């Protein structure tokens, strides 16, 4: 017997935003660990570049994921 499971549509914009935020904070933490001596000198520049890169990477990843994970039921999936 099959359970009646209601699959909710995915909010792709929210997924992109969440991934971009995670990538951004990961990059900031990593750069702080690797080069703490440059923290203050390059901080404003690094923040803007890191944010742009995170948004671009999240957009590319989500678009590629959606392109390769097309399901018969349309835009409904439980994928991460």
In a domain, 10, yes or no: no
Q: Percent of the chain beyond pLDDT 70?
A: 71
Q: pLDDT tens across 5-31, in order?
A: 677 788 888 999 999 999 888 888 887
In a domain, 54, yes or no: yes
Q: pLDDT tens across 29-47, in order?
A: 887 777 766 666 777 787 8
Total domains in the chain come to 1
In a domain, 57, yes or no: yes
| pLDDT score of 31 | 77
In a domain, 34, yes or no: no
The CA distance from 37 to 72, in Å, is: 52
The CA distance from 42 to 54, in Å, is: 18
- Got the DSSP string for the chain? ----PPPPPP-HHHHHHHHHHHHHHHHHHHHHHH-GGGTTTSHHHHHHHHHHHHHHHHHHHHHHHHHH--BTTBS-----
Domain with 51 in it: 40-68
């Amino acid at each position: 017997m099959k359970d009646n499971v209601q699959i909710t549509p995915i909010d792709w914009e929210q997924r992109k935003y969440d991934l971009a935020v995670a990538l951004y904070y990961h990059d900031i933490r990593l750069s702080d660990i690797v080069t703490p001596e440059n923290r203050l000198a390059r901080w404003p520049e690094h923040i803007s570049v890191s944010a742009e890169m995170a948004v671009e990477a999240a957009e590319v990843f989500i678009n590629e994921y959606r392109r390769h994970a097309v399901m018969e039921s349309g835009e409904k999936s439980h994928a991460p």
